[in-house]
Amino acid sequence: MKNKEQRMFDKQLQEDFLSAWPIDTIREIPLPKYVSVNDKTTFCQYVETITRPLGSINGMNSINLVSAKGGGQKTARKY
């Protein structure tokens, strides 16, 4: 069981997430704000890194979030 201090940290992390990403924003999120290269402020980056203490999305990072964007590729890949 988590101690009181950890629960307070988790609660603050959850509140910070909800403040940064209100549900209305998520419903209307443009692709560059969802995922982008070298942008630590995207939704995917937030979920993958900042909220990790609340639970992991596991697997291969943003591939679980349906869309991913890589940098420096000269050719496009088809999946």
Neighbours of 62 (CB within 10 A): 19
Q: Delimit the domains of the chain by residue range.
A: 4-65
Question: Which pTM was predicted?
Answer: 0.65
CA angle 44–25–43, rounded 5-degree value? 10
- Phi, psi dihedral angles at 3 (to 5 degrees): -80, 170
Q: Give the model's pLDDT for residue 71.
A: 62
In eight-state DSSP terms, residue 51 is: T
Taking only the tens place, the pLDDT of each residue in 17-38 is 999 999 999 999 998 898 888 8
Q: Give the model's pLDDT for residue 59.
A: 57
Average pLDDT in the 50-69 region?
67
